Structures are given as C-alpha cells and as structure tokens.
C-alpha cells in the first residue's frame, strides 16, 4: 500500500502543478479587489473539500474542525461537502447546515468538470449568498500540509470594485460570468491541492504502518524464539534428569 500510495502521489503532484495555474490566476485577479470592502456576513456558503476514503491520518478531520468553528461563529452558514468522510464528521454536530454533498471524490485526480458541477450547484441552489469560502488542505511537502480557507469573490465584490470598473467590466452578465469562472477555478485549485495532500498523508500513514508492522513482526519473532528455546531447554532438562535417575 505504501508503494501504491507513492505512485499515486507522484501523479497527484504533476496534476497539482498544472492546477496551480488556475490558483495563480485567481490570486492575481483578486489583487484588483480591495479586501476592505469584503465584510463579514452570516449569509455565507462554505465548500469543504475532502474525499470518500480513509487511511490518511487527520486529513479529513482538519477541514471538518475548521468548518465547525465557522458554524459556531455564524450558525446560519450553509455547507457544501465534497466527500463522505467530512460529511459524516460534520453531520454529527451540524447536519442542518449541510446544503448539499458530493461523493466519489478522490478516487481519481479531480478535473475542472468536477469543479464546474459544484459551481453550478452553488449558483443554482443559493445564488444570493454574501460570502463564499473554500476549506481545503494545501500541499506543502510530502510530509506537511496546511488547512486553509480560500475566500472567493462574489458578483457584488466584482461590481463594487473600482479597479475592475477600469477594465470596463460593467455588464451584469459579464460580471456573473467572471464570478462563475473564478468560483470554478478556485474550487478546482482547492480540489487538486487537497488531492495531493491526501496522497501525501496516505503515503505517510502507510509508511508508519509498514514500520509499525515490522516492529511487531520483530517482537513476535523474538518472543517465538525465546519460547522455543525455553521449550527445548525444559525437554533437555527432562531427558538429563531421566538419564541420571536410571
């Protein structure tokens, strides 16, 4: 399982490097928007990115804990969960806050089409939100990742930005199109980062499991040899005692 996880990790890292292009574009586009104009709001939607599979340490519980903290601060927060693992953890305390969920996430490398499906659901079910965020795990190295919240700009943020208006993006339909594309790009970036983080965490977990299994085998082998030697010694003692008695 460690070898399989290592192979999947290399593929996930290659896909992550390509997916980070979308993240870089979103970050540069966000530099045109003044962060001071984005106010805290109770009417917010959070996209929690996880997967359906375990055996990868605390990769799922970290995003679930951050989502629960946001729900405590803003009880009316709506949650869209990607993956059954985080859904099960969030449902224990905040089942009513879950707006929708997706499964079959993480079996293969995420695609931009997967992000489009999530984006369509967001704009279809709750297009009147004031704030949108994505909770995900960002890949740092093979042994480390960070759990972060990625803010996604809304149509109102784009329409009220003075720098954006300089580029003559005043048409309401154009603003909506830009918003949807930025949302899909941000979700895809978060999904591809989380997938790479999950593969690295699974590889680390399998490496630790292999090490622990090796230690258990060594301890059991030593115990077996000691028991075997003890049995042989007792049999020899019985033979020698019997020979002496004769």
Question: Once rounded to an integer, what is the mean pLDDT over residues 98-114?
Answer: 86
Task: Please tell me the predicted confidence (pLDDT) of residue 127.
Answer: 59
Mean pLDDT over the full length of the chain? 85
Please tell me the distance from the alpha carbon of residue 34 to that of residue 20, in angstroms, as a whole number: 23
- Tally the C-alpha atoms within 13 A of residue 97's C-alpha that lie toward its C-beta: 30
User: What is the DSSP secondary-structure string of 52-63?
Assistant: S---STTHHHHH
Instruction: Write down the residue that tokens 């369509």 correspond to.
Output: 120
What percent of the chain has pLDDT above 90?
37
CA geometry: angle 152, 155, 158, nearest 5 deg: 85
2-203 topology per CATH: Pyruvate Kinase; Chain: A, domain 1 (3.40.1380)
What are the tens digits of pLDDT across the range 52-62?
888 887 899 99
44-49 and 78-82 beta bridge pairing? parallel
Give the lowest-confidence range in 75-79, 124-128, 220-224: 124-128
What are the tens digits of pLDDT across the range 124-144?
876 577 888 999 999 998 888
CB 40 within 8 A of CB 131: yes
**pTM higher than 0.85:** no
Please tell me the distance from the alpha carbon of residue 6 to that of residue 51, in angstroms, as a whole number: 18
User: Could you tell me the two tokens for 226?
Assistant: 């000691």
């Amino acid at each position: 399982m460690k070898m399989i996880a290592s192979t999947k990790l290399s593929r996930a890292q290659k896909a992550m490097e390509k997916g980070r292009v979308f993240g870089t574009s979103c970050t540069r586009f966000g530099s045109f928007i003044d962060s001071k104009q984005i106010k805290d709001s109770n009417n917010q939607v959070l996209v929690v990115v996880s997967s359906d599979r375990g055996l990868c340490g605390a990769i799922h519980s970290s995003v679930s804990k951050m989502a629960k903290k946001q729900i405590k601060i803003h009880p009316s927060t709506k949650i869209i969960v990607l993956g059954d693992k985080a859904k099960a953890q969030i449902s224990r305390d905040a089942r009513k806050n879950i707006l929708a969920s997706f499964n079959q996430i993480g079996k293969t490398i995420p695609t931009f089409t997967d992000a489009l499906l999530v984006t369509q659901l967001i704009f279809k079910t709750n297009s009147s939100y004031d704030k949108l965020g994505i909770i995900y795990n960002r890949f740092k190295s093979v042994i480390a990742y960070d759990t972060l919240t990625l803010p996604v700009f809304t149509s109102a943020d784009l329409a009220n930005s003075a720098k954006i208006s300089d580029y003559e993006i005043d048409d309401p339909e154009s603003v909506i199109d830009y918003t949807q594309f930025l949302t899909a790009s941000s979700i895809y970036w978060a999904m591809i980062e989380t997938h790479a983080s999950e593969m690295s965490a699974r590889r680390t977990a399998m490496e630790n499991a292999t090490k622990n299994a090796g230690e258990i085998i060594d301890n059991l082998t030593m115990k077996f040899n000691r028991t075997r030697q003890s049995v042989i010694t007792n049999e020899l003692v019985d033979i020698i005692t019997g020979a002496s008695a004769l």
